[in-house]
Structures are given as structure tokens and as C-alpha cells.
Amino acid sequence: MKFPITLLSLLIITGTNAQRPGTLTAEVHPPLTWQLCNIHGCLPEVSGRVVLDANWRWYHRANGSTNCFSGNQWDATICPDPATCNSNCVLEGANYSGTYGITSLSGARGIALKWKQGQNVGSRVHVLRYDTQYELFKLLNQEIAFDVDVSKVPCGIAASAQLTEMAADGGMSSQPGNTAGAKYGVGYCDSRCPKDLKWIGGEVNNLDWTPISSTSGVGRYGSCCNEVDLFQGNSISSAFTVHSCSSPTVAGQYRCTGTECGTTANPTGGVCDPVGCDYNAYRNGQQNFYGPSKTIDTTKKFTVVTRFITDTGTATGTLTEIRRLWVQDGVVIQNASVNVAGISTANSISTGYCAAKETVFGDPTSFEDHGGLGSVSGALNRGMVLTFSIWDDPAAHLLWLDSNYPAGTSPTQAGVARGTCPTSSGDPAVVEANEVDASVTFSWVRVGPIGTTYELQKWEQCGGVAF
């Protein structure tokens, strides 16, 4: 029998030292504000902040500065097993700008993420309401909008804004001994059930650790939860995607093991759907919609609006559709409609769209198999954490986003072509060495009822014109 992560913590972690913060570097979170909007306009800004994900942090011996994890391996002397490693090591504070290239924009209205800062590659940050608590966004019958500038994000690198069902406190209340929590970016999960996380449920994930690249590896356990990718993209292609997890097994963060996490032979056979139901305009037959000098011109900033429609038109209803709008240069732009034979004309994600896309493109049915929009509806009702990141893809080189995928398949086959990047692009060794100036900015986050976050009139009330 498998237990949710809260009960596992009581059974396994009680009596041990779990994730603890270090004292060598003060943890000072970069500020980030967002606005709550209604039919009358936008309220004064909510003063929040962002926190670097724990997986990027320095983990060192508590009584010194010896690394507990270096390159792609745990120190077997310091960390022979999870309990000993937990006892010996601490999670350090972050120098956000100096080490990671993470900075707040003017007035704290946005965040900039550099791809390469010194030896560091990529980053992931989560939105905090307070220093020790993530903001939980409850978005049924609501919309969320933000500005993004991907003009400096090339092929093979992705900038993402996503929602995942992390615990508000990073697991501190359910994991005795976990004194790091949300303040140190603890508790990440997503629908891939990632096994490359160094800590899951307040415990070191070093059992069966196997290196997979020069800087990372995978352990015995994965960290699973529902996920909504509001935006994944670069200057060439973009997609918004929804992923489900089997309910009631997964409600919040869930620690998986074995086939529950999915396997190489059967990646969709776990408790969550790693593939998702995606909407990529290029893949859907609209090759001139998104990219440099296209309808959505990625050489300059644009606004992404995502609406979560329910069956009752209320926040107590069930999610039935996810709609996308864009705004650029003061013009509201409807999402590109599907232009693929066999898929009804649509420009949003719904159960019907997902089923038709799976049939025509040959995509797996794992989204529906894990509960579909119903499972995601539960997560949106409980509340999800907003995360921003910039990253590459060692496994598939991001070809599923911006090129032909699977590589070697004819791009004339429906669903294969996703963007104009060559199939030779995206090798992490190349992009990490050559694309040192890549960066993304996310700014001016707004949340409110449907139709309140993006109209030009509301922009002026919120101060958007001056930003």
C-alpha cells in the first residue's frame, strides 16, 4: 500500500533530522508583486517574493563547507543513507543575483531569469506570499495574466510559467524535522514525477542514485502532483498544457516509487500523466501565429492570459475548458484556431479537443486515463503554486516544443512539426556552452474573474501603460 506524502513523513521521517537550513548565506528573497483585479479595476499590488527551488541550492556539511552533493553524485562518506545525510548536511541560502542571475525588475513588478550565470545553468523560482509560505492560487472561474519577454530565449531552451500542487509551507507542518520548508524552496512536484529531485518529503533522495548528466541524476523516489503549464516557450514556439494525476491517490504532493513514477518502457503508466494535453499553435496547423515578426511577435514583450472555465460559471463548478488570449501593443489577440483535418475548429483545451488530438496525432490517452480536467479541477480548487523557470531538456532536447518530434518522423505527418528549430538543436552541452546571454523576464502578474485582467482600460487602471 502506498501512502500520501504527509503520512509517509510521519512513518519515515519522524525521529530524524530532515531538511535544515544553513547559516553561511542569508536567505533574502527577491520581491515580486501581483495584482488582484475585479470589474472595477485592479487593487493595489500584493507584496510577495520569489524563492529559489531547493534543487539548485548548495547542500553542504553542517559543521563546515564540504559539499554533500558535487557534480552528479552524493558524497558516500557524508551521505551513505538518507537519515545520515539528513543529519550531516544543511541546505544553504542563495545569492540570487550573483550566483543564479535572478533579479527583480523595477518596482518589483517582475522577475528576470538568466540562463547562465557563472557555472550555474538555469533556475526555477516559486512565488511566496510570505517568507515561509507559498501563495496558493485558486483559479476556477478565474483568469491569470502576465507579461513575458522571450526575445532572448533561443532554440533548445524553454521559459516556463506553471502551476503545481505544492504544499503551502513546503511540507514543514507534515514533515517533522523539516525546518527549511517554503523559505528555502522545498517541496517541488509535477506530473512527470521527477526523480532528479535531491529531496522529497523532507528526506534525501539518494537511494539507488544514478547519474544521468554531468550535473544531475535520479533516485529511487519521484515527486508527483497535478500540473498546469500556463506557458512553455522560447522565441520560436510555445505551448500551454494541462497534466492530470489519478485521484484520490494524488491530491497534493505524492512520493512515488517503482512503476508508480512511470518507467522508460511505460512513461504514462504511473500515477500521473507526463505527456499532457497541449495546445501548440504551430503543431495545430497555424505556422504563422507565434514567433519573430509573426502575429505574436516574439521579438518584443507580450501578455499571456489563461482562463479556467467551469460548468456552472462559478468558482464552485468543475473545470471544463482552458482558454487562451494574448495581448500585444494594446491589441487583444484571440488564440489561433486549430487547422488540422480531423480536429474540430477550436482554440482552447477541452475534453473534446484532447480526445480528437490524441486520435489524429496518435498521442497517448494518459490525460483522460488519469482523470483529465476533473483531476485538474480539484487541484485548482485546493490551490496551486505559481512557478517560473528557464531550463533545457537532456532527454528530448526540447524537440517536442520547437522542432519535429519524434525526430526522424516525417514533418508532414499530423502533429509531428512543432516549430522551425532544426532537429539537431537543443543539445544541453551546446546550449549551455554557447547561449550564455539567454534570459527571460516575467512581469505584471494579475489575477481576477474572467475578463478583468487584460482590457486596455484595466491596464491603465493597474498602471500597465507606464510599465
pLDDT digit string, tens, across residues 83-127: 999 999 999 999 999 999 999 999 999 999 999 999 999 999 999
pLDDT given at position 18: 63
Instruction: Convert the pLDDT of each residue in 286-311 to its tens digit.
Output: 999 999 999 999 999 999 999 999 99
pLDDT at 446 over 90: yes
Q: State pLDDT tens for residues 131-184.
A: 999 999 999 999 999 999 999 999 999 999 999 999 999 999 988 768 899 999
pLDDT per residue over 416-442, tens digit each?
Answer: 999 999 999 999 999 999 999 999 999
What is the reported pTM? 0.94
What gap in Å lies between CA 313 and CA 167, rounded to an integer?
27
Which ranges of 90-242 does DSSP label H, i.e. alpha helix? 96-100
pLDDT value at residue 108: 94
Neighbouring C-beta atoms of residue 23, cutoff 10 Å = 11
Neighbours of 373 (CB within 10 A): 26
Q: Using the predicted structure, report yes or no on whether residue 27 has a pLDDT greater than 70.
A: yes
Q: Of 8-12, 327-331, 356-360, where does mean pLDDT reach its minimum? A: 8-12
Instruction: Tell me the per-residue pLDDT of 377-416, one tens digit each, with 9 for 90 and over.
Output: 999 999 999 999 999 999 999 999 999 999 999 999 999 9
State residue 201's pLDDT score. Answer: 86
User: Which regions of 292-438 does DSSP assign to beta strands (E)?
Assistant: 296-297, 302-310, 319-328, 331-334, 348-350, 385-391
| Span 251-260, average pLDDT | 96
Which string of b and e fits 227-260 if b means at least 16 CB within 10 Å? bbbbbbbbbbbbbbbbbbbbbebbbbbbbbbeeb
Contact residues for 106 (Cβ-Cβ < 8 A; gap 6+):
none
Residue 462 pLDDT > 60: no
Query: Other CB atoms closer than 10 Å to residue 432's CB: what's the count?
Result: 19
pLDDT at residue 457 greater than cutoff 70: no
Q: What are phi and psi of 98, to 5 degrees?
A: -70, -45
Please give the angle made by the CA atoms of 119, 121 and 123, to the nearest 5 degrees. 130
**Host H or E run for residue 205:** none
Task: Give the chain's length.
Answer: 467
Q: How far is CA 325 from CA 143, 235, 302, 353, 398, in A?
A: 10, 18, 11, 17, 24
Q: Please spell the DSSP secondary structure of 60-96, one letter per residue.
A: EETTS--BSEETTEE-TTT-SSHHHHHHHEEEPP--H
Looking at the chain, the whole-number percentage of residues with pLDDT higher than 70 is 93
- Predicted local confidence at residue 4, as pLDDT: 40
Q: Is 426 helix (H, G, I), strand (E, B) or coil?
A: coil
Interatomic CA distance for residues 343 and 339, integer angstroms: 8
Neighbours of 346 (CB within 10 A): 18
Q: Are 238 and 232 in contact (CB under 8 A)?
A: yes
User: Helix, strand, coil % (nearest 5) of the chain?
Assistant: 15, 35, 50
